[in-house]
């Protein structure tokens, strides 16, 4: 199969006028609608040679394949790192080379390559190490590897400084000296960069005649890993990333990867997966191993060929994910208790002793959603603090963290626009918070001032149909940088409203056209919107806004609204 070849035709009954409008409002040029309506790799994949050091990296890896050199893939402990490592391990396995992998322990070793670990890998026989989703700022560690005679290829996507660490090759679209085409792909997750390296490696081996009597690896079959890592790392889903995810979801639906199938089973996912499932069901389970369990579990699951081992690891990751939820809730409660004293700060910097470092990134994301501001959550111990930050659109947190490190406020730190990590001396916390507030206040103010719920469509209840949902989904997959469509339905009257589960609001609404529909809003029980719809809706009409989706609990699928906001219509 060629890169980007489709697997199925489009769904029946699509409203192409609505589909085109969705694409236009997401920045697609009118003469480019067809390419974006069905995103394929053939349409979006750049020439890998356009990226700095890509050809050097491919040549070095090709040498390893042809000489059966001992290679180790050194990955980060999150989903992007696990999928990147699994992708290269699987690719090299198909090429006849059994590469090893090394995933550092989050608590004992921290983020990024450790010089000591790299030297140990060299002493154990690995003359080439490929770091994935880390390494772009690891000057000291990579210097130790160089001094020990170990070649290192860095495959990363995090922000770089002007001075690059010593490497055989550093492939990263966010290098400051990157080509224009390479820099245009700075939104790629590390697993996307790893896939481009895979394409370059196969091409290099093909040019050398390596496949004259050998079968070429199945690059398309690696796209399930690319899709999972891209969505879980909250990479912007436009351009090439959208093609990666669209095609990767088709590969996932085939359930050919033993570990991925076991993970879907453990997640009770029986239908074909959607992009949201990668972010909310599969990704958190892989992450749980690196956050509070054993860091290698994700790569082991994604590379195993043993169904029983896959099933056991998937169950273990699900159990760890439940433990993570409990720990996360405790840290979030403690962090939210500090918010009252920071209402004037542009960036919420929250810290506490005893907080588990494995959940601070998730809590930072929750705080960001709650406050609408960037958030940095820091777990303190006796000697230092480990922090993780999440940002809002329009505010480059990674660049600010690098600037804080260069200003001497951090022991270490880096990241990208939407997420960052750091190590800090607790004595510098106040200075660090002040630095972020001063540097980012204007950006945060501008980003929040421009925040609004933008609607793609307004309709009467009778227009909320499964066919409409199919049309809206056809412009996906959706995510950061390619928002899912929001619709407004109304005017309607509330026929029934109650709380289900812990704090979810469930509604039945009816319009003047005589049609009714269901709506649900998650985790809103105590909000003003929920209280109004529960207790003060009699005799009033509303417009309800949110995302259309399919409710398939009944005998036949029906459309419902995932409610996000409401406004009086009278």
Residue 27 lies in a domain: no
- 3-class secondary structure for 452-487? CCCCCEEECHHHCCHHHHHHHHHCCCCECCECCCCE
427 lies in some domain: yes
Q: Is residue 18 included in any domain, yes or no?
A: no
Q: Does residue 444 sit in the same domain as residue 461?
A: no
Looking at the structure, tell me whether residues 132 and 272 fall in a common domain.
Answer: yes
Tell me which of 417 and 5 has the higher pLDDT: 417
Domain presence at residue 268 = yes
- The total of structural domains in the chain comes to 3
- Looking at the fold, whether 56 and 172 belong to one and the same domain comes out as yes
Q: Where are the beta strands (DSSP E) in 354-486?
A: 375-380, 385-390, 412-415, 419-424, 457-459
Q: Which domain covers residue 386, as residue numbers?
A: 337-449
Kindly state the helix (H) or strand (E) to which residue 517 belongs, with its residue range.
strand 516-521
Structural domain contains residue 243:
yes
Other beta carbons within 10 angstroms of residue 120's beta carbon come to: 13
Note whether residue 30 is domain-resident.
no
Q: What is the pLDDT of residue 3?
A: 54
Report whether pLDDT(4) > 50. Answer: no
Predicted local confidence at residue 5, as pLDDT: 44
Q: What is the mean pLDDT of residues 224-232?
A: 97
Say yes or no: 311 and 194 in one domain: yes
CB < 8 Å & 24+ apart, contacts of 34-40: 36/242, 37/474, 37/475, 38/6, 38/10, 38/246, 39/242, 39/243, 39/246, 39/247, 40/3, 40/4, 40/5, 40/6, 40/243, 40/246, 40/247
Does residue 138 share a domain with residue 228?
yes
Which one of 419, 449, 479 terminates a domain? Answer: 449
One domain for residues 310 and 376 = no
Strand partners, 352: 379
pLDDT digits (tens, 9 = 90+) for 147-178: 999 999 999 999 888 999 999 999 999 999 99
| Tokens representing residue 187 in the block | 């939104």
Q: Could you give the angle at the alpha carbon of 325 between the alpha carbons of 295 and 444, nearest 5°?
A: 90
Q: Which of 449, 471, 491 is the last residue of a domain?
A: 449
| CATH number, position 409 | 3.10.310.30
Task: Compute the distance between CA of residue 7 and CA of residue 221 in angstroms, rounded to an integer.
Answer: 12
pTM of the model: 0.86
Q: Which residues of 376-388 are buried (b: 16+ CB within 10 A; e: fewer)?
A: bbbbbeeebbbbb
- CATH code, 91: 3.90.1640.30
For residue range 81-96, what is the model confidence (pLDDT) as tens digits?
999 999 999 999 999 9
Does residue 385 contact residue 413 with C-beta atoms inside 8 Å? Answer: no
Confidence at residue 343, expressed as pLDDT on a 0 to 100 scale: 78
Q: Kindly indicate the confidence band of residue 554, based on its pLDDT and cuts at 50, 70 and 90.
A: low
- On whether both 408 and 466 belong to a single domain, the answer is no
In a domain, residue 370? The reply is yes
Q: Which of 307-311, 498-502, 545-549 has the lowest mean pLDDT?
A: 498-502
Are 217 and 284 in a shared domain? yes
> 111 and 176 in one domain?
yes
In a domain, 1, yes or no: no
Which of 317, 346, 377 marks a domain boundary?
Answer: 317
Query: DSSP secondary-structure letter at 294?
Result: -
Rounded to the nearest integer, the mean pLDDT of the chain is: 93
Query: Looking at per-residue confidence, does 218 or 1 come out higher?
Result: 218
Residue 440 shares a structural domain with residue 505: no
Residue 538: give its domain's CATH number: 2.40.50.140
Is residue 268 domain-shared with residue 148, that is, in the same domain? yes
Co-location of 379 and 477 in the same domain: no
pLDDT at 2 > cutoff 90: no
């Amino acid at each position: 199969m060629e890169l980007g070849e489709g697997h199925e035709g489009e769904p029946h009954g699509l409203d192409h006028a609505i589909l085109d409008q969705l694409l236009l409002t997401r920045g697609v040029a009118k003469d480019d609608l067809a390419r974006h309506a069905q995103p394929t790799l053939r349409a979006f994949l750049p020439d890998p040679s356009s990226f700095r050091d890509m050809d050097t990296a491919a040549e070095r890896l090709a040498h390893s394949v042809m000489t059966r050199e001992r290679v180790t893939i050194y990955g980060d402990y999150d989903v992007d790192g696990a999928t990147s490592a699994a992708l290269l391990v699987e690719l090299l396995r198909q090429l006849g080379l059994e590469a090893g992998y090394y995933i550092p322990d989050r608590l004992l070793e921290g983020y990024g390559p450790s010089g000591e670990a790299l030297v140990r890998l060299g002493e154990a026989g690995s003359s080439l190490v490929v770091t994935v989703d880390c390494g772009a700022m690891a000057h000291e560690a990579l210097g130790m590897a160089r001094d020990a005679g170990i070649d290192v290829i860095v495959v990363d996507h995090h922000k770089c400084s002007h001075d690059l660490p010593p490497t055989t090759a550093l492939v990263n679209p966010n290098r400051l000296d990157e080509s224009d085409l390479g820099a245009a792909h700075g939104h790629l997750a590390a697993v996307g960069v790893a896939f481009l390296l895979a394409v370059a490696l196969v091409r290099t081996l093909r040019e050398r005649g390596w496949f004259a009597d050998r079968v070429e690896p199945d690059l398309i079959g690696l796209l399930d890993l690319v899709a999972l890592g891209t969505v879980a790392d909250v990479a912007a889903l436009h351009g090439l990333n959208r093609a990666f995810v669209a095609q990767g979801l088709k590969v996932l639906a085939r359930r050919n990867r033993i570990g991925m199938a076991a993970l879907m089973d453990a997640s009770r996912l029986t239908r074909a997966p959607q992009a949201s499932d990668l972010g909310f069901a599969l990704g958190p389970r892989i992450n749980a191993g690196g956050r509070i369990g054993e860091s290698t579990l994700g790569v082991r699951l994604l590379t195993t060929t043993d169904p029983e081992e896959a099933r056991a690891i998937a169950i273990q990751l699900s159990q760890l994910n439940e433990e993570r939820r409990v720990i996360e809730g405790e840290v979030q409660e403690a962090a939210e208790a500090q918010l009252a004293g920071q209402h004037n700060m542009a960036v919420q910097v929250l810290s506490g002793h005893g907080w588990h470092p494995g959940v601070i990134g998730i809590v930072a994301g929750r705080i960001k959603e709650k406050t609408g501001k960037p958030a940095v959550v820091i777990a303190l111990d006796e000697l230092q603090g480990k922090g993780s930050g999440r940002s809002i659109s329009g505010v480059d947190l990674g660049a600010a963290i690098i600037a804080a490190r260069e200003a001497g406020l951090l022991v270490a730190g880096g990241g990208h626009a939407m997420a960052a990590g750091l190590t800090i001396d607790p004595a510098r916390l106040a200075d660090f918070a002040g630095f972020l507030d001063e540097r980012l206040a204007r950006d945060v103010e501008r980003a929040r001032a421009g925040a609004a719920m933008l609607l793609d469509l307004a309709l009467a209840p009778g227009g909320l149909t499964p066919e409409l949902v199919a049309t809206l989904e056809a412009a996906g997959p959706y995510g950061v940088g390619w928002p899912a469509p929001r619709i407004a339905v109304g005017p309607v009257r509330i026929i029934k409203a109650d709380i289900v589960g812990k704090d979810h609001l469930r509604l039945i609404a009816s319009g003047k056209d005589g049609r009714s529909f269901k709506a649900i809003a998650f985790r809103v029980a105590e909000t003003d919107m929920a209280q109004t719809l529960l207790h003060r809706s009699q005799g009033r009409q509303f417009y309800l806004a949110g995302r259309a989706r399919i409710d398939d609990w009944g005998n036949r699928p029906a459309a419902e609204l995932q409610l996000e906001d409401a406004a009086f219509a009278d």
